[in-house]
């Protein structure tokens, strides 16, 4: 029996069981309880939810905001992709890292930054200019803040496509007399259309799934989206409210599934994409005397999407009184108040570190076994492992949280009733499900690079499966395992969208504490900025470490 438990069958079987239990079962429970509330087909909660004018307005706002965010993200990402891939700009790798940094920072941090900068009454930019023309609490403000983070989805998709592309067609067009810009729009961009549309779909879904930015900027402007409406329903404190939130969540879940499968279909479609060995040098546009103008554009855009917001957060964090421009107003009072006088801060930091550690450790380990099934076995249907692991990540955090509430908040095992709601265990299970996709993909890349001959040699030498795992797979996969761990730890450490629905008194995290300080509990201001600044520095340090460990393969 012990020998069987140590063998691959039990480990891989348990991994598949956990994959089903965490990534598929909660969604099945969500759908069944909302559609079959009394064990019979009944659309009562759909009619209640969608019979409200405010709900229909939230759906309309979600579509408008997501469309405009996708459009603005494309406008930002397309020229950047051209400059960073098809010009002779110096230090392009450094510029790529800088413009991809917003991808690693939680968007609600950007919302706090732009509230500090664009508050119509005491926004820093309005104070500096002596006007009140900038009002971040508007449709334009909401779209801009989301676009300043989500453009990275399109940028990363395009850069990856351009880097993989066989440049022989571009070279042929260039030899025929076409200039670099014409080559880009007539040859390069059409070949990358699947990746471009994939990035647009991801931005649309990310915008529809976002909670922090709509809650902080949209709600004061009375621009309610589906995620904030789900939060409102869930906080009603009744089962009717939860099931109405579930009805809205099913709509978002269907949208997520459409985007997920459309994205996979686009990326597998080779009809418009030519990828092969690099037989020629890509057609680079020589900037020449226009180099300074391009650099001015890059410096200006990077300042707008990153430097100015970070400066706003730092200004608020060090200001004794918010909105006062004076050297005498700077000090460390906000840091002292947050770290030594706010009782929730030590608990929230410890909870975030603990949740991040366990989520990263368990998701990486589980991801290793699941990717082993996908990459190294011949089981029928093994390709569905990656699809199931992708489902929670592609789904909005509010949907995942609500599904977990209905599936695991309270259940019985052998007659013993177990209540998980408002526990750290409950939250970490949701984190594992949400970010398991990172573990599967990253460890899968590492496994694919290891020849099966090594494992066969170990078995011929008498090593069992567990020994082979410890002596062959783990040592060779250290960079992938470390990268997977930190790629999961980073978003889990500062997660907000799921946690705001799953946490309660005593289970506060860094994300929920920042949200509460920004929205309710910090009358003098500055507290949320202190924690936001700490989060940015922490995420940047982790990203640098991941790039160093993986020798640039992972990280931004």
Query: What is the reported pLDDT for 412?
Result: 53
CA 509 to CA 500: how far, in whole Å?
Answer: 9
Q: State the pLDDT at residue 354.
A: 93
Locate the DSSP E strands across 200-332.
Answer: none
* Burial of residue 180 (number of CB atoms within 10 Å: 0-12, 13-18, 19+): buried
pLDDT at 273: 40
Task: Output the CA–CA distances (angstroms, integers) from residue 340 to 336, 337, 343, 514, in the order listed.
Answer: 5, 6, 8, 16
Note the pLDDT of residue 549.
67
pLDDT along the chain (556 residues), means of 10: 48 81 87 75 69 84 93 92 84 86 87 88 81 85 93 86 71 70 74 80 87 89 88 75 81 79 63 45 71 90 91 87 75 85 87 93 89 77 79 84 82 58 86 89 74 70 70 75 84 88 85 85 71 86 73 63
Question: Is residue 349 in a domain?
Answer: no
Contact criterion met (CB below 8 Å) for 213 and 111: yes
In a domain? residue 393: no
The CATH code of the domain that includes 208 is 1.10.3720.10
Write the CB contacts of 3 (distance below 8 Å, at least 6 apart in sequence).
Answer: none
Would 362 be classed as within a structural domain? Answer: no
Asked whether residue 15 is assigned to any structural domain, the reply reads no
- The total number of structural domains in the chain stands at 1
Residue 25 domain-assigned (yes or no): no
Q: Rounded CA gap, 556 and 543, in Å?
A: 7
DSSP-assigned letter for residue 411? E
Residue 226 lies in a domain: yes
Residue 422's pLDDT is: 76
In a domain, 353, yes or no: no
32 within domain boundaries: no
Q: Print the domain residue range for 223.
A: 52-331
pLDDT value at position 274? 44
Q: What's the CA gap between 144 and 63, in Å, rounded? A: 15
Which pLDDT score, from 0 to 100, does residue 277 have? 47
């Amino acid at each position: 029996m012990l020998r069987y438990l140590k063998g691959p069958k039990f480990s891989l079987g348990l991994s598949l069981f956990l994959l089903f239990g965490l990534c598929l079962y909660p969604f099945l429970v969500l759908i069944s309880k909302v559609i079959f509330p009394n064990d019979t087909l009944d659309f009562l909660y759909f009619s209640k939810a969608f019979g409200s004018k405010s709900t229909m307005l939230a759906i309309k706002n979600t579509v408008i905001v997501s469309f405009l965010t996708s459009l603005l993200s494309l406008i930002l990402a397309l020229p950047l992709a051209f400059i960073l891939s098809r010009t002779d700009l110096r230090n392009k790798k450094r510029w790529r890292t800088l413009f991809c940094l917003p991808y690693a920072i939680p968007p609600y941090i950007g919302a706090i930054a732009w509230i500090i900068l664009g508050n119509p009454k005491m926004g820093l930019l309005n104070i500096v200019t002596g006007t009140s023309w900038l009002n971040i609490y508007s449709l334009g403000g909401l779209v801009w803040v989301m676009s300043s983070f989500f453009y990275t989805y399109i940028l990363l998709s395009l850069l990856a496509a351009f880097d993989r592309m066989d440049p022989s067609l571009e070279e042929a067009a260039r030899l025929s007399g076409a200039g670099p810009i014409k080559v880009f729009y007539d040859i390069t961009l059409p070949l990358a259309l699947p990746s471009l549309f994939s990035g647009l779909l991801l931005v649309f879904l990310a915008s529809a799934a976002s909670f922090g930015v709509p809650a902080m900027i949209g709600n004061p402007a009375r621009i309610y989206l589906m995620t904030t409406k789900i939060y409102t329903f869930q906080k009603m404190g009744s089962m009717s409210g939860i099931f109405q939130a579930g009805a809205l969540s099913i709509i978002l879940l269907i949208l997520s599934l459409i985007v997920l499968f459309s994205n996979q279909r686009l990326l597998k479609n080779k009809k418009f994409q030519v990828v092969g060995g690099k037989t020629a040098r890509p057609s680079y546009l020589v900037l020449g005397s226009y180099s300074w103008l391009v650099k001015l554009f890059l410096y200006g855009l990077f300042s707008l999407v990153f430097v100015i917001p970070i400066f706003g957060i730092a200004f608020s964090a060090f200001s004794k009184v918010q909105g006062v421009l004076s050297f005498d107003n700077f000090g460390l009072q906000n840091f002292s108040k947050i770290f030594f006088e706010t009782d929730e801060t030590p608990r929230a930091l410890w909870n975030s570190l603990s949740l991040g550690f366990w989520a990263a450790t368990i998701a990486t380990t589980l991801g290793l076994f699941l990717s082993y099934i996908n990459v190294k076995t011949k089981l029928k249907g093994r390709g569905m492992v990656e699809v199931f692991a992708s489902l929670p990540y592609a789904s909005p955090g509010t949907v995942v949280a609500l599904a977990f509430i209905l599936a695991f908040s309270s259940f019985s095992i052998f007659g013993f009733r177990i209540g998980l709601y408002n526990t750290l265990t409950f939250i970490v299970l949701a984190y594992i499900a949400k970010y398991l996709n990172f573990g599967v993909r990253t460890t899968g890349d590492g496994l694919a690079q290891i020849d099966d001959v090594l494992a066969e040699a170990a078995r011929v030498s008498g090593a069992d499966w567990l020994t082979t795992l410890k002596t062959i797979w783990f040592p060779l996969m250290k960079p992938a395992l470390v990268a997977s761990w930190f790629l999961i730890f980073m978003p889990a450490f500062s997660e907000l969208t799921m946690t705001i629905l799953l946490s309660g008194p005593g289970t506060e995290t860094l994300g929920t504490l920042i949200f509460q300080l920004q929205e309710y509990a910090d009358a003098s201001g500055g507290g949320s900025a202190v924690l936001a600044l700490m989060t940015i520095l922490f995420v940047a340090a982790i990203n640098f470490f991941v790039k160093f460990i993986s020798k640039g393969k992972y990280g931004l």
